[in-house]
Amino acid sequence: MTTMATTVADIKADYPFSVYRFNVSIMGLEDKVGFSEVSGLEVGHQPITYKDGLGFKHMPGMPEPIKLTLKRGIVKGNSTLYDWMISVRLNLVEKRDITISLLDEETHPLVTWTVQSAFPTKLVAPSFNATSNEVAIETLELMADSLRVEHA
């Protein structure tokens, strides 16, 4: 029989973290962008299947590419992401490290994901709809070399 957490300390120790409190920092763009959604923090390997005299064998192959998606509301006078995206066309793209931190109530990091050497691959404008009052959200897709996870 399991016991339920009854104190605040027990709840903090035994319950999973909420995902709504997080911080995103892009090297060189600090304090210029805030994001409402992050996805794609995945690590994987392409499987290799080969056959020997005893049957099929499986092993990990090349690492899967890190593909990150960031979403944010469009605000007046902030073209930071577009400027970074357009630099790819000019062959001047600057790869940047990105840190995403899951925060507690006091904004201390609980888990931090560090995406290394990221560069933009796509910037998507919001969909426009005259019958809606939703926030205008732009989506930035990135590719990166590696992902590291640190638990506090």
Q: Is 52 helix (H, G, I), strand (E, B) or coil?
A: strand
User: Quick check: 121 pLDDT over 80?
Assistant: yes
Sign of the alpha-carbon torsion through 112, 32, 75, 105: positive
Are 65 and 43 a contacting pair, CB within 8 Å? no
Could you give the CA distance from residue 33 to residue 74 in angstroms, rounded to a whole number?
Answer: 10
**Residue 2 pLDDT:** 60
Is the pLDDT at 110 greater than 70, yes or no? yes
Arithmetic mean of pLDDT, 126-131: 93
Q: Which helix (H) or strand (E) holds 14?
A: helix 8-14
* Confidence at 31, pLDDT banded by 50, 70, 90: low
In this model, does residue 28 exceed pLDDT 60?
A: yes
Question: Poorest-confidence range of 8-22, 43-57, 69-83, 135-149?
Answer: 8-22
Between CA 22 and CA 124 the distance in angstroms is 22
Position 1 pLDDT exceeds 60: no
Look at the chain and count its residues: 152
What's residue 60's pLDDT?
A: 94
* Per-residue model confidence as pLDDT tens digits over 67-97: 999 999 998 888 888 988 988 887 788 899 9
Q: Using the predicted structure, report yes or no on whether residue 148 has a pLDDT greater than 60.
A: yes
Domains of the chain: 16-151 (2.30.110.20)
> Which has more pLDDT, 24 or 53?
24
Q: Which long-range contacts (CB under 8 A, 24 or more apart) does 125-129 make?
A: 126/74
pLDDT at residue 103 in the model: 94
